[in-house]
Amino acid sequence: MPTTLRDCLAAKARDPSLADLIAMVVHTSAEISALVRRGALGEVFGALESQNVQGEVQKKLDVISNDMLLESCGASPALMAMASEEMDDIHPVRDLTPEGGYLLLFDPLDGSSNIDVNVSIGTIFSILPAPRADTPRPAVLADFLQKGRAQVAAGYVVYGPQTTLVLTLGDGVDAFTLDPETGDWLQTGSGVTIPVETKEYAINASNLRHWAPAVRGYIETCLEGETGPRGKNFNMRWIASMVADVHRIMMRGGVFLYPWDAREPDRAGKLRLMYEANPMSMLVEQAGGAAFDGHGPILDAEVNDLHQRISVMLGSRAEVEHLERLHRDA
């Protein structure tokens, strides 16, 4: 009999209340998956007139998924506050206490630009420890501004041909698949490991002319193939859904790049540190890979803003280390 998510959480989570919070996030993800599967039949497709804090046009399902996670996860007793890519500010749930608790951050529907064309999308989440407060008080923005190393759990759910959860509690990476008949999450991968070497990279190559010399040089030498300095042929993959691109890398190796772009020179990158880069970097490192922002490990990056952006290069360790050398030399 396959191990269930509940059994795995009972064995790995030191705090039952953390297991409860994770189970709540994953249960809601199953409900989001059902909406995604219904597609246009569920009347949840299309864009709204509103924009999120990043200035991006919101999809109907972005907002629906966000509201579902807010409502369901708020019932978890150890959850003190939440933050989402789709909201300007944090969402306090209950006062901080001397007992502590947890803070939840999430991208409710990563890759939502692909909703209408039936390409894999997903939900990404990160859990931080809540500060302990001798005198009860509501959570504030500063409580969330913790480095990625502080995460106690991270994961994503990808809505594709199967609905798959990839999860870490800081002790390796496990994968679970939703059984659509029973609603159970059954373990389909334990101790997930990213191969050290790879011949695949994921990047939006149409932006090559805008990248920093180190990234541009990396891709150009990959394109030279086995007759070039790398001595091997590379394949390029690009889905334009981070959760789908990273899932492929988690399952079979590769490197994912969303680097700094000269079109917005004052912005460190495109992806969000708290909702995307940190949770994915924790998963990748726990699977034996590496994650780099052009300056150092992503998980060590200073956090100054809830919606901070960052350059992201993560995946197979050998390729990320090669990118680190190129950036040092540049």
In the block, which residue shows the tokens 């990234």?
Answer: 215
The domain locations on the chain are 5-190, 200-329
**What was the pLDDT predicted at 117?**
84
Q: Say if residues 240 and 113 touch (Cβ distance below 8 Å).
A: yes
Q: Say if residues 83 and 90 touch (Cβ distance below 8 Å).
A: yes
Q: How many CB atoms lie within 10 A of CB 53?
A: 14
**What was the pLDDT predicted at 56?**
60
pLDDT in tens, 152-184: 999 999 999 999 999 999 999 999 999 999 999
Question: Is residue 50 pLDDT above 60, yes or no?
Answer: no
Question: Which of 51-65, 263-277, 282-296 is predicted least confidently?
Answer: 51-65
Question: Is residue 123 pLDDT above 90, yes or no?
Answer: yes
pTM for the full predicted model: 0.94
What residues form the annotated binding site for Mg(2+)?
Answer: 85, 107, 109-110, 276
What's the mean per-residue pLDDT of the chain? 93
Question: Which of 83-97, 114-128, 155-169 is predicted least confidently?
Answer: 114-128
Question: What separation, in Å, do the N-terminal and C-terminal C-alpha atoms of the chain show?
Answer: 53
Give percent of the chain with pLDDT exceeding 70: 94
Of 31, 36, 7, 30, nearest to 19 by C-alpha is 7
Of 189, 325, 198, nearest to 256 by C-alpha is 198
Question: Is residue 39 pLDDT above 90, yes or no?
Answer: no
The answer to whether domain 5-190 and domain 200-329 are alike in fold is no
What residues form the annotated binding site?
Answer: 85, 107, 109-113, 204, 270, 276
Rounded average pLDDT over 64-80: 96
Say which CATH superfamily domain 5-190 falls into.
Fructose-1,6-Bisphosphatase, subunit A, domain 1 (3.30.540.10)
Rounded average pLDDT over 40-49: 59
**280 φ, ψ to 5°?**
-65, -35
Rounded average pLDDT over 244-259: 97
**What was the pLDDT predicted at 295?**
96
Q: How far apart are CA 259 and CA 261, in angstroms?
A: 6
Question: Is residue 54 pLDDT above 90, yes or no?
Answer: no
Give percent of the chain with pLDDT exceeding 90: 88
**What was the pLDDT predicted at 44?**
62
Q: Where are the alpha helices (DSSP H) in 76-154?
A: 141-144
What residues form the annotated binding site for substrate?
Answer: 110-113, 204, 270
The CATH number, out of the four listed (3.40.47.10, 3.40.190.80, 2.40.40.20, 3.40.50.2300), of the domain defined by the range 200-329:
3.40.190.80
pLDDT band, very low/low/confident/very high, at 38 (cuts 50, 70, 90)? confident
Q: Say which amino acid occupies 80.
A: M
